[in-house]
Structure 1
Amino acid sequence: MSNSQTVTAEPRPEVSELPIVSVVIPCYNYGRFLATCVRSVVSQQGVRTRVLIIDDASHDDSALIAVELAVQYPNVEVVVHPQNKGHIATYNEGLLKWASGDYVTLLSADDELPAGSLERSVRLMEANPAVGMVYGGIEEFGEGASPSSPAPHRRPTAIVYSGRKWLRKRCREAVNVVPTPGTVLRTQVQRAAGGYDPLLTHAGDFDMWLRVALVADIGYVGGHPQGRYRIHGSSMSQGVYQESWADVRQRKLVFDSLFTNHAGELTRAGIDPAPTYARLAGHPLWWACREYEKGNPHATAVDECVAFATETYPGVGSLRPYRALRRRQRLGAAFCHRTQIFVGTAIVRRLLNRYWWFRWKRFGG
């Protein structure tokens, strides 16, 4: 890990004036989750929290529950929109107009914070003034799961990455490694980076993290989950964005924005857009290869993958996944499936993917 500094997360000494973390909780029809979400925040130790629930004109009892929580907890405030403004405008309202104090985080009303999450993030930033954002792993849980977090498997540790080197790796891999639940920013860094882009409705968080890395170093906390992400049928990731590779289209828009609006900064950081777009083009091509290996490729979907890859990277013919797809097309799906001629390649891809996930859980990507 030559591009990082590893430090042990020691207990924070008691102080009379604890750092303030502003927690923005946007809510739209998540009244049934709101109370457990807020309680997971106000119960955080080692920091002072101030909470803003923004109800975006929900049709359920979210607004009523929010007001009841504000009565119960003096550090909770509520804003109720008379008309729906959408999630991006709601995020920016809380992060840019309301947030104050030392640090800020955004937490969806259906997610939660594990015990100690904010203290671990703040401790790392207090010890490293150049760090502007801290993230960590998440725990996924179902709609009826217990709000308690499991015991960690390792001693909590923290890693500090140079913002420039972290950004270079994100551009090289073209994958978002930062989950939103539990990610904390310095309030001044949030203002310097700006708000969420309304054009990036699905990948605005990825765009935000990349812009933060332009102005600050990045921290990662391992050993404990830093956020709890609820899986349920009405969540955004389970509903609107169900296409198998819609995410790669949004990631392309993120990098289009980054390379257009920050070209000079990226050039000075030694970041070339070509490898980024080559990697983005390769993702759907490998998916198409897998469809041939399974013996039942959908012709239209495969054509869309090739069209996207060609549009994304003009030199698509030189890419390994493109050549791999053409070999499978020449042999035919029935032959690929019956003979399993490419099973070795599939196993290698699967092992590399598992190794990537191992590194993400240990080092943050």
Structure 2
Amino acid sequence: MNQPLVSVIIPTYNRASLIENAIGSVLRQTYTHWQLVIIDDGSADDTPARVQPFCEAYPGKITYHYQPNQGQAAARNAGLRRCQGEYIASLDSDDEWHADFLAASVEQLTTRNLDLVFLNWVGTYDTEGFTNFYQQPAQQKAYCTTPAGDWWLLAPAQMRQLAIETCPSPSSALIIRRTALAGTWNEQMRIADDWCLLLDTVLSRPCQAAFTLKPHWLKHVHDTNIYDGRFDTALIRDIGLHDEPLMLERFGDRLLPGEKRLFRERIATHHFNFMCLNWANRPGLASMLGHAAQAMRLAPWLTTQAFWERGMRQLKKHTSQAQP
């Protein structure tokens, strides 16, 4: 077969009620030269029974592997070790690709000789994926510069800047050329293993990339998501106060001064926001002062400005309430 093989990893944990839909979305792909590796990360529900009929119907093409619970990054890595394809994709077990997801991705990867592509999505609560991010004037100016039909092409410098500025796509959105991968998913990450993998890749070598704002998959938003649907304080604690500092340490010697400053300012903002969001819970003065001190250490001017702006908002609110 002349078509390149795409290896798809589905990591799953207690998602028996959703995983059949994810597998079904792979089966419905108009691009048919794929391999599906399902890694069960210690599920205690009936996931094996739900998956078994697919493996029996597509022997060798769909495989199932069980491991004790080790986290999503470890599950993805277990899948990666079993991948044989030229391109790698990781579909979360609660997401569903549209039928043209792989065809659209492979066409861009092959015809333009790209290292990676990522595709927009819609959420079950009417969210429009990353559309809003790229509609902002600064992001349009920085990244929406080279159109190619429904796609935007990213030069290596743009892809590097984007990956440092934000995690541009969740795992289910990304397909990457196997030879472009700089390593594996970082198992120290609580949530941002996909972001860390992308940073590993684009900081190791120049990467040509593309993205599309046209939706090509469905994200189910529910209370067991590790990102969407969680409270802000939990996300800040896991990503902003844990994962991002580890990434700054990991990539420190590869970051330019301005890139390091962006990381520090973002982490400082996380400390400040965490302090403000937790204030109502009265966690203790020492804890609040600790977050304030960390924010000041990382980005003193930005933090001072944030304190001033918040203080002025509180003063304005207090004044308006005091007026008869």
Shorter-chain TM-score above 0.5:
yes
Distance 1:218-1:298 versus aligned 2 partners, 3 A rule: farther
C-alpha distance in structure 1 between counterparts of 2:255 and 2:273, whole Å: 28
User: Residue in 1 aligned with 2:177?
Assistant: 186
Taking only aligned residues, the RMSD between alpha carbons, in angstroms, comes to 3.4
258-267 vs 54-63, which moves further = 258-267
C-alpha distance in structure 2 between counterparts of 1:138 and 1:305, whole Å: 37
Task: Tell me how far 1:287 sits from its aligned partner.
Answer: 7.6
Asked if the contact 1:189–1:216 (Cα under 8 Å) also holds between the matched residues in 2, the reply is no
Residue 142 of structure 2 is aligned to residue 176 of structure 1: no
Distance 1:218-1:114 versus aligned 2 partners, 3 A rule: farther
Q: 2:294 aligns with which of 311, 320, 339?
A: 311
Distance 1:250-1:188 versus aligned 2 partners, 3 A rule: same
Residue 117 of structure 2 is aligned to residue 134 of structure 1: yes
C-alpha distance in structure 2 between counterparts of 1:305 and 1:135, whole Å: 39
Residue 267 of structure 2 is aligned to residue 280 of structure 1: yes
Task: Tell me how far 1:250 sits from its aligned partner.
Answer: 2.0
Gaps spanning 5+ residues in structure 1: where? 1-15, 143-154, 341-365
Asked if the contact 1:288–1:302 (Cα under 8 Å) also holds between the matched residues in 2, the reply is no
Task: Tell me how far 1:253 sits from its aligned partner.
Answer: 4.4
Asked if the contact 1:132–1:217 (Cα under 8 Å) also holds between the matched residues in 2, the reply is yes
162-171 vs 97-106, which moves further = 162-171
Q: 1:336 aligns with which of 313, 317, 320?
A: 317
Gaps spanning 5+ residues in structure 2: where? 126-147
Question: The residue matched to 2:63 in structure 1 has which SS?
Answer: strand
Residue 90 of structure 2 is aligned to residue 106 of structure 1: yes
Distance 1:332-1:99 versus aligned 2 partners, 3 A rule: closer
Q: 2:62 aligns with which of 69, 77, 83?
A: 77
Normalising by structure 1, we get a TM-score of 0.70
C-alpha distance in structure 1 between counterparts of 2:313 and 2:50, whole Å: 58
Q: Percent identity?
A: 20
C-alpha distance in structure 2 between counterparts of 1:275 and 1:237, whole Å: 22
Normalising by structure 2, we get a TM-score of 0.78
Residue 255 of structure 2 is aligned to residue 266 of structure 1: yes
The residue correspondences of 1:81-96 to structure 2 (distance < 5 A) are 81=66, 83-95=68-80
C-alpha distance in structure 1 between counterparts of 2:234 and 2:285, whole Å: 11
Residue 42 of structure 2 is aligned to residue 57 of structure 1: yes
The residue correspondences of 1:204-223 to structure 2 (distance < 5 A) are 204-214=193-203, 215-223=205-213
C-alpha distance in structure 2 between counterparts of 1:278 and 1:94, whole Å: 35
C-alpha distance in structure 2 between counterparts of 1:306 and 1:178, whole Å: 34
User: Residue in 1 aligned with 2:214?
Assistant: 224
User: Residue in 2 aligned with 1:164?
Assistant: 157
Asked if the contact 1:133–1:216 (Cα under 8 Å) also holds between the matched residues in 2, the reply is no
Give CA deviations for 1:323-343 in whole Å, capped at 9, x if unaligned. Answer: 3424544x6847525539xxx
Task: Tell me how far 1:227 sits from its aligned partner.
Answer: 2.8
C-alpha distance in structure 1 between counterparts of 2:214 and 2:240, whole Å: 28
Q: 2:51 aligns with which of 66, 69, 73?
A: 66
Asked if the contact 2:71–2:187 (Cα under 8 Å) also holds between the matched residues in 1, the reply is no
Residue 13 of structure 2 is aligned to residue 28 of structure 1: yes
Task: Tell me how far 1:92 sits from its aligned partner.
Answer: 0.4
Distance 1:208-1:55 versus aligned 2 partners, 3 A rule: same
C-alpha distance in structure 2 between counterparts of 1:139 and 1:303, whole Å: 42
User: Residue in 1 aligned with 2:140?
Assistant: none
Question: The residue matched to 1:81 in structure 2 has which SS?
Answer: strand
Task: Tell me how far 1:178 sits from its aligned partner.
Answer: 1.2
C-alpha distance in structure 2 between counterparts of 1:262 and 1:288, whole Å: 26
Count of paired positions: 299
Task: Tell me how far 1:100 sits from its aligned partner.
Answer: 1.4
C-alpha distance in structure 2 between counterparts of 1:90 and 1:84, whole Å: 8
